[in-house]
Chains A and B, each alone.
Chain A
Amino acid sequence: MKKLTKIVVLAAALSLFVAACSSSSDDTTTTTEASGGDGGLTGSLLISGSSTVEPVSALNAEAWRAIHPEVGVTVEGPGTGDGFAKFCAGETDISDASRAIKEEEAADCEANGIEFIELLFAIDGLSVLTSTNNDAVSCVSFSDLYALLGPESTGFTSWSDADGLAGELDGTNAPYPDADLVVTAPGEESGTYDSFVEIVLEDIADERGQDAATRPDYTASANDNVIIEGISGSDTSLGWVGYAFFLANQDKVSALEVDGGDGCVGPTPETIADGTYPIARPLFIYVNKAKAEESEALVSYVDYYLSDEGLNSVDQAGYVRLADYGPVREVWETRTTGAADL
C-alpha cells in the first residue's frame, strides 16, 4: 500500500515536472517550426516608450513578424519619459513617444553618443465630450475648460458654479447653464490625461500660479469604454477621451467644438491632421541611427511601419493619419538625425 502510494506520488511529481519542461521546450520548437517565411532576418528588436503608441508598434510588430518569424520583438509601454531614458542609454532600438523629445532628453542622448531619427507618423486628437442630449453648449474654449475642469474648479457641482471663475478669464462662453456638472475622464496615470493637461490647462494654470493639473474630484477610469458610459449616462456631462473612442461611440456621445484661439473647430480626421483642431498631439517613433545601420531587421521593421500596410495599424489603434507621408518617409530614407523642433 505504502509503496504504491510512493510510486504514484513520485510519478505524479515527475510527470508534472516533465510536462513543465517539455512544454517550455515546445515553445522553442513552435517558433522554429513557424520559420517558413521568406524573411531570412535574425536578431531581436526592443521597442519601449509611450503606452499611447504601444498598440501601433505592437500591431506592426506582430504583422511584420509574420514575414520575419526568426526575429525576436519586444514592445513595452512604460511611458514616453521612461522610454527616452532607456533609449538614450542605448538599451532600446526604437522609442515610442506621444510628444517630441525634450531638450534635456536630447542632451542625454547626445552625451551618450546616441543619434536618433525622429519619425512623426500619426496624430492623436482628444475629443471633449458631452451627452448627445446636451444642446445648451456646443463649443468650448480653453478658458471654459479651465474654468470647468482646471485645478481651481474643485468642488463645482453645477456648470454655473464656474461662472465666477470664468469671469476672471478671457474668451469664455460664461454664463454657463445651471445644470449638474458630471465629469468622467481618464485618470492621472494615463497619457491622455497628461496630454489634456499639457495642451489645454498648463498655460492658464501657469499664468494663475496654479499646479498644472485637473480638478481631482471627477470620476476617473482607465477604461475608455467606461468613460463613454459615464458621459452618456448624464445629460449634462463633460469629459474627454482619445478621438478614436468618440468615433466608435458617436451614437452615445457628442463631441464639442473647441476654440483654441482661432474659432470653434470640431474634431474630424481633416481638422486633426492639418492642425486646425487645437487639442491634438503628434505620435512619434525615434529610431537609434547606429542600430539601424547594424540591423537589417530594424530597417525592415521601420520600412514596414511607414508603409501603406503598416499605417493600417494607425487606423486600427484609432489615431489619425498624416495628410502626407512624403516628408517623413524622406527623413527615414535619408536617415536624417535630430529633432525637428529643437
Chain B
Amino acid sequence: MTTSITRRQEATQADVAKAIQRSGIQWRSTLFHAGLLLLLLTTLVILLVLLADIMIKAWPTFAERGVSFVTDGLSLNPETAGVFTGIMGSIAIAVIVILLAFPIGVSSAIYLEEYAPDTRLSRFLDTTVRNLAGVPSIVYGLLGGSTDGKNVIAAGITMSALVLPIVIITASEAIRAVPDSIREAGYGVGATKWEVVRSHVMPSALPGILTGTVLTLARAIGETAPLLVIGVATGYFAPPGDATFVDQITGSYTALPVIVFSWSRQTQAEFADTLAPAAIIVLLVVLFVLNGAAIWLRNKTENRW
C-alpha cells in the first residue's frame, strides 16, 4: 500500500488513543449515527413529499376523467385533453431506441470487452464512450435539431445517440462480470471466439445487459430537453383516418414528458393545476414499471457464481 495510507493509519491510532480516554465517545458515536440516518431520511422524505404533492394535485383529474384521461389525445381544451398521443410517441421513441441503441451498444460492448486488444484505438474508444455519457442531453438536441425532420424518427435517432454510451457501459459491466472460467470452458472444447461469445458469454451476461437496457429505456422515455430543441408538437394534431404507418412515423408527434412541460405553462389554470400532475403520474407509472422490471431482473440474477 502507498505511504499516504500508512500515514493515515498513524493518525487513526493517535485519534483512537485520544478517543478512548474521553468519556463522551458513546454519545458522539450515537450522534454521528443519528446524523447519517437523518440525512438519509431527509432524502426519503423529499421523495415522499414529491410523490404525495403530485398525487394530491393529480387526483381530481383521475377522479373526474378516469380512464378517458389516458385514452384521450392532445388537446387545448382542458375537458378533453389526455395523454394518449404522448404515450404513443414515447413508445415509438422507445421502440426506435431498442432497435438502434441496443444492438449497436451491445456489439460495441462485446468488441470492447472481448475483442479489443489494448491498443490506442480501443483505449480511445473507451474514453470516447465515457465522455459521451456525460454530454448534457440538450447538446444531443442541438445535434438532432440540425437535421430537418421534426418527426418521431429524428427524435428516436437522437435519443438512441443519447443513450448509446449508457448501453455500452452497462453492457460492458455485465460482460466483464462473466468469469473467465466460462470462456475457458468454451475454448477448451475448441470453440472460436465468436462461438464462445455467442453461446457462453452472452447467455450469462444477458440478464445484466437487459437490466441496463431497461434502465436506459426509462432514461430515454423521461428525457424532454432534446425533443424541445428538435421540435415536437404541443398544440393539436390528429392523423387522417387512412394514414399509413409511414405517414404516422413521419408526421407530427409528441411525447409524455413534453406534455408535462407544455401543460405546465399553458395559460388555462386547469392544465398546470391538475392535468400536468396527472400526466406526471402516468409518466412515473411507466417508469416505475420499467425500473421495477430492472430491479426484479437484477435480484433474480445476482450472485450467480
Verify if B31 is at the interface (C-beta below 8 Å from A): no
Pick from B71, B207, B241, B301: contact of A31, CB under 8 Å: B241
- Closest Cβ of chain B: how far from A139's Cβ, in Å? 27
**Per-residue contact bits, chain A 1-41, to B (CB 8 Å; 1 contact, 0 not):** 11001101100110011001101100110111001000000
A-B CB contact pairs (8 Å), 19 listed: A6-B203, A9-B207, A12-B297, A17-B95, A23-B91, A28-B245, A35-B241, A58-B75, A58-B235, A61-B236, A61-B238, A62-B75, A62-B76, A70-B240, A72-B240, A74-B238, A74-B251, A76-B235, A225-B269
Q: Check A169 for interface membership: any CB of B closer than 8 A.
A: no
Asked if B300 and A5 sit within 8 Å, CB to CB, the answer is yes
Of A28, A55, A59, the residue contacting B243 (CB under 8 A) is A28
Asked if B76 and A58 make an inter-chain contact with CB atoms under 8 angstroms apart, the answer reads yes
Whether, in the assembled complex, A75 has its beta carbon less than 8 Å from a beta carbon of chain B, the answer is yes
Measured CA separation A75–B240 after assembly (Å): 13
Q: In the docked arrangement, what's the CA distance between A193 and B245, Å?
A: 41
- The reply to whether A32 and B77 contact each other, CB–CB distance below 8 Å, is no
Tell me if A203 is interfacial: C-beta within 8 Å of chain B. no
List B residues at the A interface (Cβ < 8 Å). Answer: 71, 75-77, 80, 87-88, 91-92, 94-95, 98, 203-204, 206-207, 210, 233-243, 245, 247-248, 251-252, 265, 267, 269, 272, 293, 297, 300-301, 304
Q: Is the CB of B210 within 8 A of A71?
A: no
Which of the residues B204, B240, B248, B304 comes within 8 Å of A71, measured between beta carbons?
A: B240
A59 to B94, CA, bound (A): 30
Question: Of A43, A58, A223, A318, which is within 8 A of B240 by CB?
Answer: A43
Q: Given A5-B300, A13-B210, A223-B267: A76 and B240 within 8 A (CB)?
A: no
Task: Say yes or no: A74 contacts B207, CB within 8 Å.
Answer: no
Q: A2-B203, A13-B210, A20-B91 are in contact. Are A65 and B238 (CB under 8 A)?
A: yes
Whole-angstrom distance from the CB of B296 to the nearest CB of chain A?
9
Does A245 lie at the interface of the complex (its beta carbon under 8 Å from any beta carbon of B)? yes
CB of B58 to closest CB in A, whole Å: 19
* A222: interface (CB < 8 Å): yes
Which residues of B are found within 8 Å of A70, using beta-carbon distances?
240-242
Apart from A5-B301, A27-B88, what 12 extra A-B contacts exist at CB < 8 Å? Answer: A6-B206, A9-B206, A17-B95, A55-B76, A55-B235, A59-B236, A61-B236, A62-B75, A70-B241, A72-B243, A75-B235, A77-B234
Of chain B, the residue at the smallest CB distance from A74 is B237
Whether B265 and A222, one on each chain, are in contact in the complex, defined by CB atoms closer than 8 angstroms, is yes
Chain A contact residue count (CB 8 A cutoff): 47
Expressed in whole angstroms, the Cα–Cα distance for A76 and B74 within the complex equals 13
Asked if A62 and B236 make an inter-chain contact with CB atoms under 8 angstroms apart, the answer reads yes
Residues of B within 8 A of A16 (CB): 98
B248 close to A28 (CB less than 8 A): yes
Min distance, Cβ B149 to any Cβ of chain A, angstroms: 14
Instruction: Find out whether the CB atom of B77 lies under 8 angstroms from the CB atom of A59.
Output: yes
B94 (CB) vs chain A CBs: closest residue: A20
A322 within 8 A of B: no
What chain B residues lie within 8 Å of A224 (beta carbons)? 267
In the complex, the answer to whether B207 meets A5 with C-beta atoms within 8 Å is yes
Answer whether residue A306 sits at the interface, using C-beta atoms and an 8 A cutoff.
no
Identify which of B80, B233, B241, B252 contacts A42 (C-beta below 8 A): B241
Partner of A223, one of B204, B207, B233, B265: B265
Chain A proximity of B77: nearest CB distance (Å): 6
Does A54 belong to the interface (CB within 8 Å)? yes
A210 to B: closest C-beta gap in Å: 31
**Bound-state Cα–Cα, A43 to B242, Å:** 8
| Closest beta carbon of chain B to A56's beta carbon, Å | 9
Q: Within 8 Å CB of A292, what residues of B?
A: none
Task: Determine if A72 and B239 form an interchain contact, defined as CB atoms under 8 angstroms apart.
Answer: yes
In the assembly, what is the distance between CA of A69 and CA of B73, in Å? Answer: 13
Q: Are A21 and B95 in contact (CB under 8 A)?
A: yes
**A311 on the interface (CB 8 Å rule)?**
no
- Contact check, A24 vs B91: say whether CB atoms are below 8 A apart: yes
> Looking across the interface, which residue of chain A has its beta carbon closest to that of B202?
A6
Which chain A residues lie closer than 8 Å to B267 at the CB level?
Answer: 223-225, 245, 318
B252: chain A residues within 8 A (beta carbon): 74, 76
Inter-chain contacts of B210 with A (CB < 8 A): 9, 12-13
A318 to B269, CA, bound (A): 13
CB-defined contacts of A225 to chain B, threshold 8 Å: 267, 269, 272
| CA gap between A5 and B299 in the complex, in Å | 12
What is the chain B residue whose CB lies nearest that of A244? B267
Cross-chain contact A31 with B238 (CB below 8 angstroms): yes
Could you tell me the distance between the alpha carbons of A44 and B300 in the complex, rounded to whole angstroms?
50
How far apart are the CA atoms of A245 and B235 in the complex, in Å? 20
Choose from B94, B98, B203, B233 the contact partner of A74 (Cβ within 8 Å).
B233
Q: Mark A62-92, 1 if CB is under 8 A from B, else 0.
A: 1001000111111111000000000000000
Smallest CB-CB separation from B152: which chain A residue? Answer: A24
In the assembled complex, which residues on chain B have CB atoms less than 8 Å from the CB atom of A12? 210, 293, 297
Closest chain B residue, CB of each to CB of A21:
B95
| A31 and B239 contact, CB distance less than 8 A | yes
CB-CB < 8 A to A27: which residues of B?
A: 88, 239, 248
* Complex Cα spacing A17 to B210, Å: 13
